[in-house]
Amino acid sequence: MSATSDELRYVYAVCRPLDAPLAADLTGVGGVPPRQLNHEGLVALVGPVPARDFAEDPLRAHLEDLDWLSETARAHQRVIGALTSVTCPLPLRLATVFRDDSGVRAMLQDGAERFWRILDRIDGCVEWGVKVHMESPDHSSDNRSSDNRTSGGHSSDIRSSDKQSSATAGGEAPEKPLSGRDYLRLRRQQRTAQDEGWKRAEAFAQRLHEELSRHADDARLHAPQNSSLSDTPGRNILNAAYLVPRAHSEEFVELVDATKDEDAAGLTVELTGPWAAYSFTGDDVESGGGAGRSR
């Protein structure tokens, strides 16, 4: 096998020509610094990768290897993050590879119209992510009821908490379990309180999203995140992305901080970014179309 066929071209992103150089010590996948490949006004940031890892069959196997995948994703994001600090790139999918530079140029040529349309849309902007989480009543009561759930009993659930507290404080014997009818009534009251809590949380998230959208060029609502995939406990009420001019990012962050405590009891507002405009580079995203869900 020749030297050239031993290597493929890994493409990180497409962008305009850079106004400032990337950090000299920046490395990408495989620890190799990325380089710029120019074609008719567009730039692809590329790096060499071994065919033994990134050809179709070995790549398919590697994508099942979580350690390999995590390492590659970190290297990919490291380059995108560095690129975002100096321009507004269109990130490509993880492990986008071509046979050689000619294949990359052909990609730039064939996709030029789309690339320019998206680059014009995101020019001068970065993406900020905002999530609102509500603490689950079940989560908050885990310590109180874990023994109960294990044994299958209902004793701690069907006692009124204020009666338990007063009995303990007064040194009296605990109250006897409530009747079946009182237990059902208590459970209905708990469900009603939970429903009202969800409604208040959703109303807060809707107000926050509308306010933030007014201070962004575009906004996207993503599907709520599975709580098992998040470091923040509770139910994900809002999962949104906002396309914000870089020059206005400080004001946007201050706006999020200022609204975090508004009617936010039991809620957590999480701000992430700035990122490359991942949520605004798809073909289904058009200017002014920020209200629709896209994932």
Chain segment 123-173, per-residue pLDDT in tens? 999 999 999 988 765 544 444 344 433 333 333 333 334 444 444 445 555
Would you say 273 and 160 are in contact if contact means Cβ atoms under 8 Å apart? no
pLDDT score for 201: 85
Query: Which stretches within 134-179 are classed as H helix?
Result: 137-140, 142-151, 161-169
Containing H/E element for 271?
strand 267-275
| CA-to-CA separations, 64 to 5, 36, 58, 124, 130, in angstroms, rounded | 24, 30, 10, 37, 30
Containing H/E element for 94?
none
Give the model confidence (pLDDT) of 63-108 as tens digits: 999 999 999 999 999 999 999 999 999 999 999 999 999 999 999 9
pTM: 0.74
pLDDT score for 188: 67
Identify how many contiguous H helices and E strands the chain contains and give both numbers: 10, 9
